[in-house]
Structure 1
């Protein structure tokens, strides 16, 4: 799917401070963009790389 027509989703854990990222399934993989500047562009990740990242997040690998 083209980025402009994609269904971008924000994490349910995002706070109201505006510092969020959005993700969408695209033809080229998973798109990730800044919710404050969606027109600036997005990063593309292979589905396997995105899944590995989410696994690490859920395991607490990036907790402060």
Structure 2
């Protein structure tokens, strides 16, 4: 695991069972992992692509 992505945050919308994702950010990158499998794989995105993804979600409704 990359030590730069050490500060993980879970959404306040997360379910009681922990069925959510966690996100860790740096100035350049965003890591995403399954909150139920914290030792599992991590997806890492360039920060600008992550912002585009979130904006797409906000405007897709």
Pick the TM interval, shorter chain: 0.7 to 0.9
Which 4+ residue blocks in structure 1 deviate beyond 2 angstroms? none
Q: Give 2:47's aligned residue.
A: 47
Cα RMSD for the two superposed structures: 2.2
Deviation at 1:43, TM superposition (A): 0.5
Aligned CA distance change for structure 1 residues 37 and 43 (closer, same or farther; 3 Å): same
Contact 2:27 2:47 in 1 (8 A): no
SS of the residue corresponding to residue 41 of structure 1 reads coil
TM-score, structure 1 as length reference: 0.75
TM-score, structure 2 as length reference: 0.78
Q: Give 1:2's aligned residue.
A: 3
Contact 2:32 2:42 in 1 (8 A): yes
SS of the residue corresponding to residue 23 of structure 1 reads strand
